[in-house]
């Protein structure tokens, strides 16, 4: 009850209102897009998983941007639909993957480099894209709200998304084993220690592999 | 010069992303009344920490190390920086001073400002430290992470999503399978197709063939057609079936540069 009163009081303030949502998405997108710009220029700072950034990297190193573009754009599309229907826009799929990877890949595949290369321009591009996404969600929300109680399988996708993360730990160990014996041992030990500490084992596997890899370097 | 540029850009990026992540996360506790930006896993995990500052902090710390390793290795922060590290750390700091959740973790204003500060520190730290590490570490990371990531994205993720679609019901299984196969062919990865399949399958199951689900289906088909065209999938398809692409189609491609 207190919560309801509070929501009503704040319904028109920036922090709670629907009208400010596009602005929040815009600020987030500006930062994330600029992060991709930094990755493009300096090789650090992309706000995404290694696997997804690797798709963008494939394009940057002379391959095709097709995978990154199609993957990112489709995720963005799916998440915009879902976000306006369930009330929570999935940050990972829409902004980090869609705006951070998909849209830069589309621009780069068309040979438009400036918005990705130039930092201030990247901030501006991200902001505009985010404002548009936020506005679409605002519109869809007002158009469909109250018409349907469907979740559109959000729970199914969330479950699958979380399961994916669990696979990364064992995969990293399997991959470390093929790099070299010391690195494989390091990854296994690191993962075991992290597991005993109740931490995600992927982190332990990476750190273990890095420590042994530092003392017993391998060639690329 | 290089170092200074990374430092300045990191501060700007960290502030923007942190601010939006904090507001978005706090608004989740007020959804669906308020449209939020975040993730269901973030919401669940922040509730699981039960407002205990130490739990929030250590939870964020575990993912912070993971993110650090990934940034050092491949320049990629992982999604955990915005999903887990920033929201949990700013909740931890706010909760030290005041244990009332409604006034701290659920308050978009306080979370936004605190998260902006945390974002600046975290992003700057990750970028500055990882741009100055020994080459042998980077080689190790690339050798270990890239193959693992490739298998994850091309095989594991599609299969997990696919099985989830099949388990979720006959409609999502059917749409997921058709769109998944099409996406693998056209886009090079099945995941987006399976996600769209679940979206439409579950949508139809829950509310039937209404205007919303029909528009969605049409939009998805349009997405596939456009993707196919821009990746020259149509030309390749005709070629592999032993046919020549008609002149008008070829000239369309030439005109658009696809």
Q: Is position A149 within any domain?
A: no
Q: State pLDDT tens for residues B157-184.
A: 899 999 999 999 999 999 999 999 998 9
Q: Is the pLDDT of residue A51 over 80?
A: no
A120 near B CB under 8 A: no
Kindly state whether residues B181 and B85 are assigned to the same domain. Answer: no
Q: What residues make up the domain containing A132?
A: 2-144
**B211: its two tokens:** 């205007």
- Of the residues A144, A164, A197, which one is the last residue of a structural domain? A144
- Interacting residues of A79 by C-beta distance below 8 A, sequence separation 6+: A89, A90, A93, A94, A98
Distances (CA, A) of A206 to A215, B86, B100, B148, B193: 15, 21, 37, 11, 31
B103 and B206 housed in the same domain: no
Domain count, chain B: 2
Q: Does A152 touch chain B (CB under 8 A)?
A: yes
Does residue A195 belong to any structural domain of this protein? yes
CA dist B197 → A88, B27, B154, B176, B182 (Å): 20, 29, 18, 4, 11
- Please list the alpha-helical segments (H only) found in B75-107: 80, 86-97
A139 plus A181 within the same structural domain: no
CA distance A114 to chain B (A): 17
On whether both A30 and A61 belong to a single domain, the answer is yes
Both B16 and B124 in one domain: the answer is yes
Which A residues in the span 155-174 are in contact with B, Cβ-Cβ below 8 Å?
155-164, 167-168, 171-172, 174
Residue B47: per-residue pLDDT = 79
Averaged pLDDT, A128-145: 85
Mean pLDDT confidence for B59-63: 80
> What would the DSSP string read from start to end of B165-213?
HHHT-HHHHHHHHHHHHHHHHHTS-SHHHHHHHHHHHHHHHHH-S-HHH
In this prediction, residue A144 carries a pLDDT of 65
The mean pLDDT value for B123-131 works out to 89
The CA–CA distances, whole Å, from B163 to A52, B139, B175 equal 21, 35, 12
Residue B138 lies inside a defined structural domain of this protein: no
B60 has a pLDDT exceeding 60: yes
As for the ipTM of the complex, it is 0.76
Dihedrals phi, psi of B76, to nearest 5 degrees: -105, 130
* Mean of per-residue pLDDT scores for chain A: 83
Least confident interval from A127-131, A158-162, B74-78, B172-176: A158-162
Same domain, A83 and A60: yes
Which of B95, B130, B165 is where one domain is finished? B130
Is the pLDDT confidence value at B16 over 90?
yes
In this predicted model, which residue has the larger pLDDT, B250 or A155?
B250
pLDDT grade for B220, boundaries at 50, 70 and 90: confident
- Asked whether residue A59 is assigned to any structural domain, the reply reads yes
The DSSP call for residue B246 is P
Contact flag B207-A16 (C-beta cutoff 8 Å): no
What pLDDT does A135 receive? 93
pLDDT reported for residue A151: 67
Task: Count the domains in chain A.
Answer: 2
Q: Which of A212-216, B60-64, B132-136 has the highest mean pLDDT?
A: A212-216
Instruction: Note whether B176 and B118 are same-domain residues.
Output: no
* Token pair listed for A207: 């750190």
Residues B77/A46, Cβ–Cβ less than 8 Å: yes
Q: Which of A82, A114, A144 is the last residue of a domain?
A: A144
Instruction: Select from B99, B130, B161 the last residue of a domain.
Output: B130
| Close Cβ partners of B154 (under 8 Å, ≥ 6 residues apart) | B189
Residue B135 lies in a domain: no
d(CA B25, CA B48) in angstroms, rounded, equals 14
Highest mean pLDDT among A30-39, A54-63, A208-217, B20-29: A30-39
Provide, as residue numbers in chain B, all residues whose Cβ is less than 8 Å from the Cβ of A207.
65, 69
pLDDT band per the 50, 70, 90 thresholds, residue B7? very high
Residue B11 has pLDDT above 90, yes or no: yes
Q: How far is CA B50 from the centre of its chain?
A: 25
* A46 and A138 belong to one structural domain: yes
Q: Which residues of B touch A71 (CB under 8 A)?
A: 187-189, 191-192
Identify from A206, A209, A214, A217 which residue to disrupt to test chain B contact, counting B C-beta atoms within 10 A and taking the largest count: A206
Same domain? A126 vs A184: no
B76 vs A3, A50, A82: nearest CB:
A50
Cα(B189)–Cα(B169) distance, rounded to whole angstroms?
Answer: 22
Asked if residue B163 and residue B249 are part of one domain, the reply reads yes
Q: For chain B, what is the mean pLDDT?
A: 86
| Number of alpha carbons in the 13 Å side-chain half-sphere of residue A159 | 13
Give this prediction's pTM: 0.75
What does the pLDDT average to over A38-51?
Answer: 89
- Say if residue B75 is in the same domain as residue B40: yes
Tell which wins on pLDDT, B6 or A73: B6
Backbone angles phi, psi at B38, to 5 degrees: 175, -135
Residue B140 lies in a domain: no
Residue A130 lies in a domain: yes
Contact A203, A173 (CB under 8 A): no
Domain that holds residue B46: 2-130
What is the structure's pLDDT at A5? Answer: 44
């Amino acid at each position: 009850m207190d919560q309801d009163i509070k929501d009503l009081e704040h319904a028109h303030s920036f922090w709670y209102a629907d009208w400010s949502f596009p602005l929040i998405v815009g600020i987030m997108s500006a930062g994330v897009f600029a992060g991709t710009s930094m990755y493009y220029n300096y090789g650090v700072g992309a706000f995404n998983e290694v696997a997804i950034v690797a798709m963008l990297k494939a394009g940057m190193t002379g391959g095709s941007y097709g995978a990154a573009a199609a993957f990112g754009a489709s995720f963005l599309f799916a998440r915009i639909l879902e976000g306006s229907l369930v009330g929570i826009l999935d940050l990972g799929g829409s902004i980090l993957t869609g705006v951070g990877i998909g849209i830069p890949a589309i621009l780069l595949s068309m040979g438009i480099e400036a918005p990705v290369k130039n930092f201030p321009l990247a901030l501006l591009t991200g902001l505009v894209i985010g404002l548009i996404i936020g506005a679409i969600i605002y519109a869809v929300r007002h158009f469909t709200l109250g018409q349907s109680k469907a979740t559109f399988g959000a729970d199914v996708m969330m479950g699958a998304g979380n399961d994916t993360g669990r696979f990364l730990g064992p995969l990293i160990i399997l991959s470390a084993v093929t790099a070299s014996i010391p690195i494989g041992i390091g990854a296994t030990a690191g993962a075991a220690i992290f597991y005993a500490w109740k931490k995600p084992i992927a982190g332990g596997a990476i750190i273990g592999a890095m420590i042994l890899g530092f003392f017993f370097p391998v060639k690329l | 010069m290089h170092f200074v540029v990374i430092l300045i850009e990191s501060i700007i990026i960290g502030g923007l992303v942190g601010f939006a992540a904090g507001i978005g996360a706090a608004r989740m506790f007020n959804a669906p009344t308020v449209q939020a930006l975040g993730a269901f896993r973030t919401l669940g995990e922040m509730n699981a920490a039960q407002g205990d500052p130490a739990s929030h902090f250590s939870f964020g710390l575990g993912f912070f190390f993971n993110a650090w390793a990934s940034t050092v290795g491949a320049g990629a922060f992982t999604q955990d920086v915005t999903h887990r590290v920033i929201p949990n750390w700013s909740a931890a700091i706010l909760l030290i001073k005041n244990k009332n959740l409604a006034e701290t973790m659920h308050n978009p204003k306080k979370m936004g400002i605190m998260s902006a500060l945390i974002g600046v520190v975290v992003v700057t730290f990750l970028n500055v430290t990882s741009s100055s590490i020994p080459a042998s570490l980077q080689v190790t990371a690339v050798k270990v992470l890239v193959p693992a990531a490739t298998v994850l994205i091309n095989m594991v993720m599609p299969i997990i999503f696919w099985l989830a679609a099949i388990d979720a019901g006959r409609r999502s299984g059917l749409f997921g399978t058709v769109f998944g196969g099409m996406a693998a062919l056209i886009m090079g990865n099945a995941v987006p197709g399976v996600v769209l399949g679940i979206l439409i399958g579950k949508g139809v199951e829950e509310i039937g063939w209404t205007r919303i689900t029909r528009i969605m289906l049409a939009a998805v088909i349009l997405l596939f057609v456009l993707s196919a065209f821009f990746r020259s999938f149509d030309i390749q398809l005709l070629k592999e079936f032993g046919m020549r692409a008609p002149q008008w189609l070829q000239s369309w491609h030439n005109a658009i540069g696809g």
